[in-house]
A and B are shown apart, each in its own frame.
Chain A
Amino acid sequence: MHIWLHPLSLILISLGLLMWFWGTWPLLQQRSLLVKLHRLSVADTLGSALMLAGLWLQRADLWPLLLLALIGLMLWNTIFGYVLASSSQTPRSR
């Protein structure tokens, strides 16, 4: 492992953690469901992806599983956000 890879991975994981807190904090506030979903997309999809990228730098031998987790997270978190947003609409607003 290159000497600069470790700090880089820590930066990526910390940035992901920051996105997690920024995105999940509004869940405790009186915001609309859609605003919460916008913010959650930052937290659970983009933040988690940064963390996985950071872990990839630390454990390069596990890259197939980490890449699979990355594809799964990006795809299903995003589509789950769409399903939740779509389900929150009343029949008239649909």
Chain B
Amino acid sequence: MTWLLSCLFRLLLWFLLTGDRSGLNLLIGAIVAVLLPQRRGRSDLLSLLRALVQAIAAIPHAYAEAFRLMLAPAETEQWLERPSSGTRTAAAIFLEVFAITLTPFTLVLGVSAGPDGPTYRIHQLQPSSGLEEREP
């Protein structure tokens, strides 16, 4: 099933690149999508779909965070660790790193392996009133 998703994504890119929706182009695109090498290894469709939904949902969230950051008088920095959803699928980890880094408040600094799946080291920049720094 993950193989099918990967082929569909390749076919979408082929269509966008060629801009041609004819039957012959569909056939060529499908052949190219199938013939290109596939990644071997773990594949967990459910965690991949969950990560994909999370990545798409991160886009409007990123704009909300961007406007909050733009309107904030000051920012505070913080370093933290966040466990992953527990997935070990490379594509799902890629999408989780994408979702975290796309949002302007958070930036992934690294991924470390743990017993319950990877953990993300994150740098966080959050809007603040600016009063905290003046306090002794």
Contacts and interface: CB of A to CB of B under 8 A. Distances in A.
Nearest to A93: B109
A35 interface: yes
B: interface residue count bin: 20 to 34
Interface in A69-94: 71, 74-75, 78-79, 81-82, 85-86, 89, 93-94
Nearest to B63: A46
A19 to B, nearest CB: 7
Contacts of B125: 34-35, 38
Given A42-B66, A42-B69, A85-B123, A78 B98 contact: yes
Interface stretch (B26-34, B37-45, B83-91, B100-108): B100-108
A35 B70 CA distance: 13
A65 interface: yes
Contact of B16 (A34, A38, A64, A85): A64
Interface residues on A, range: 20 to 34
Contacts of A94: 109-110, 121
Contacts of A71: 13, 16
A68 B17 contact: yes
Nearest to B99: A78
A17 B69 CA distance: 16
Interface string A13-49: 0000001001000000000101101110110011000
A27 B12 CA distance: 36
Contact of B77 (A19, A35, A81, A89): A35
A81 B15 CA distance: 28
Interface of B: 13, 15-19, 59, 62-63, 66, 69-70, 75, 77, 94, 97-98, 101-102, 104-105, 107-110, 121, 123, 125
Given A41-B107, A46-B104, A65-B19, 17 more contacts: A19-B70, A32-B77, A34-B123, A37-B107, A38-B107, A41-B101, A41-B104, A42-B66, A42-B69, A42-B104, A46-B62, A71-B13, A78-B101, A81-B107, A82-B108, A85-B108, A94-B110
Interchain residue pairs A-B with the least CB separation, the first 4: A68-B16, A64-B19, A38-B125, A64-B16
